[in-house]
Amino acid sequence: MDNLIDGRAIAGEIQAETAARVIRLKAGGITPGLVFIRVGEDPASQVYVAMKQKRATEVGIRSETKVLPQNTTTAELLKLIDQFNADSTCHGILVQAPLPSPIDAPAVYSQVTATKDVDGFHPLNVGKLMLGDPSGFVPCTPAGIHELLIRYRIPVNGAEVVVLGRGNIVGKPMAAILLQKGRQANATVTVCHSGTRDVTSHCQRADILIAAMGVPEFVRAHMIKPGATVIDVGVNRVIDPTSKSGTKLVGDVAFSEVQPKAGRITPNPGGVGPMTIAMLLANTVRAAEQSVGMGRA
């Protein structure tokens, strides 16, 4: 059934565009620089950072990873961030989540200077997003979802959008992006969460349903309107006795059940994930451009 939204293909397009921007910057003597900071040895974080660094290299971004021990204090982490804040060759700083629980995560994300906050978590960038100010950086996953909707020409203006999940990384910024007054937004957005009564009734009226609550295969076929666009953000590990590892990764959408009813749907993997990295690289290059007055200030 050919209704897939191919995140890998669109991410490839964006990475090619980003690589071309890197070439222009390098012609002017600027090499975009991106620093990853990882605390501890969380296996998933190791994989994610390695993948991001590989993609950065592919488009010509200079990147490095700083790994700190699990027992690192908030003060020690803030001191390292300040070193990169002051480094003119570093244009983007990404502190990999999750951080060990003793660390004050909000303080850490606020410490990254807003002009190098390519993850879009600094309060200044969050505020700019809410105000519709395009000069800030938008969190990479919702920005990537927005690009998928745009590049697949899925009508957003006036659409009924339901976002499942109110997290700071996806749910809240996704709603903020789509409700802005603009040609590629201007949607009517409902955010459902753990306190929402009758989630199904909200989902059934959605033209676009974005699932980002972290509940394995929560969205079933009876919950969506025929022809709706379904975006699956979830990454959940569940038990699978048939798998060699004993587990498997599934999204927040019961894909095989929902796909025949959907108008468009993201696969998982291969949908939202590649877009997140593509937008991180694009944000980094924009930070480098802005540092020399080439991009939006």
**Does residue 269 have a cis bond before it (omega within 30 degrees)?**
yes
Other C-beta atoms lying within 10 Å of the C-beta of residue 295:
14
Cβ-based burial of 67 (10 A; exposed 0-12, middle 13-18, buried ≥19): middle
Could you say which of 52, 128, 225, 261 is catalytic? 52
For the four alpha carbons of 217, 222, 227 and 229, in that order, the dihedral sign comes to negative
Check whether 171 has a pLDDT greater than 60.
yes
> From CA 267, how far away is CA 4, in angstroms rounded?
7
Other C-beta atoms lying within 10 Å of the C-beta of residue 236:
17
Check whether 296 has a pLDDT greater than 70.
no
> What are the pLDDT digits (tens) for 75-130?
999 999 999 999 999 999 999 999 999 999 999 999 999 999 999 999 999 999 99
* Termini Cα distance of the chain: 44
Helices (H), the chain: 7-27, 43-59, 74-85, 105-111, 123-131, 140-151, 171-179, 199-203, 255-258, 272-291
Q: Are 158 and 140 in contact (CB under 8 A)?
A: no
Check whether 271 has a pLDDT greater than 80.
yes
Higher pLDDT residue, 247 or 91? Answer: 91
Could you tell me the pTM of the whole model?
A: 0.95
> What are the pLDDT digits (tens) for 175-199?
999 999 988 999 999 999 999 999 9
Query: Does 259 qualify as catalytic in the annotation?
Result: no
pLDDT at residue 248, rounded to an integer: 87
> From CA 31, how far away is CA 61, in angstroms rounded?
7
Mean pLDDT of the chain: 95
- DSSP reduced 3-state for 251: coil
Query: Does 290 qualify as catalytic in the annotation?
Result: no
**What is the rounded average pLDDT of the residues 203-221?**
97
pLDDT at residue 78, rounded to an integer: 98
Q: How confident is the model at residue 245 (pLDDT cuts 50, 70, 90)?
A: confident
> From CA 277, how far away is CA 269, in angstroms rounded?
13
Higher pLDDT residue, 65 or 240? Answer: 65
Q: How confident is the model at residue 211 (pLDDT cuts 50, 70, 90)?
A: very high
Percent of the chain at pLDDT > 70 equals 99
Q: How confident is the model at residue 295 (pLDDT cuts 50, 70, 90)?
A: low
Count of residues making up the chain = 297
Give the residue from 268, 201, 194 showing the smallest Cα distance to 230. 268
Give the residue from 117, 169, 110 showing the smallest Cα distance to 145. 169
| Paired strand residues for 211 | 164, 232
Q: Which helix (H) or strand (E) holds 4?
A: none
> What are the pLDDT digits (tens) for 55-66?
999 999 999 999
> What are the pLDDT digits (tens) for 7-50?
999 999 999 999 999 999 999 999 999 999 999 998 889 999 99
Cα dihedral: 189, 219, 4, 52 (round 10): 80
Q: How confident is the model at residue 297 (pLDDT cuts 50, 70, 90)?
A: very low
Concatenate the DSSP letters of all residues of 195-244 into one string: T-S-HHHHHTT-SEEEE-S--TT-B-GGGS-TT-EEEE---EEEE-TTSS
Domains and CATH numbers, the chain: 26-115 (3.40.50.10860), 140-274 (3.40.50.720)
**What is the rounded average pLDDT of the residues 159-186?**
96
pLDDT at residue 240, rounded to an integer: 87
Could you say which of 15, 116, 119, 128 is catalytic? 119
Query: Does 207 qualify as catalytic in the annotation?
Result: no
pLDDT at residue 183, rounded to an integer: 84
Could you say which of 96, 117, 207, 252 is catalytic? 96
Other C-beta atoms lying within 10 Å of the C-beta of residue 23:
10
Q: Which helix (H) or strand (E) holds 97?
A: none
Percent of the chain at pLDDT > 90 equals 89
